[in-house]
Amino acid sequence: MGLFSTLNKGKRFNFELPEALPKENYLPLSKMPDGAVYTVRSLYLNRKSKFGEHYVALAEDKDGTIYGVNLPKFNNETVIGILNNDEMVEAINSGKCGISKGETVHGENGDYIPTVWVDLD
């Protein structure tokens, strides 16, 4: 990719929702089942959150159900890095990226649940 072509922000992911995702199919990362790994199909920025801008992973469970997994704001830089990496975008388009929730971390500023990124075969 050339120097200026990186500025072209068009559709990066092949996945398209066939219809609007029902509200009940949106969940915070913390509500993912323990041990579950969902296949990431797309990532997008949610600008309308009452908690500030954060990314959402459109992700598929083992039964083929699509969920909008709200990623914690501390993942924003990581997702921006993914979006700016053609190889990672292609891996998502090829179904080779998964997410799961990590174990609760007890930090100085409170508890949080980290996102675990998974390489899928």
pTM tops 0.75, yes or no: yes
Domains and CATH numbers, the chain: 22-119 (2.40.50)
Mean pLDDT of 38-63: 92
Q: Please provide the size of the chain in residues.
A: 121
β pairing state of 66-70 and 54-60: antiparallel
Q: What is the share, in percent, of the chain residues with pLDDT greater than 90?
A: 74
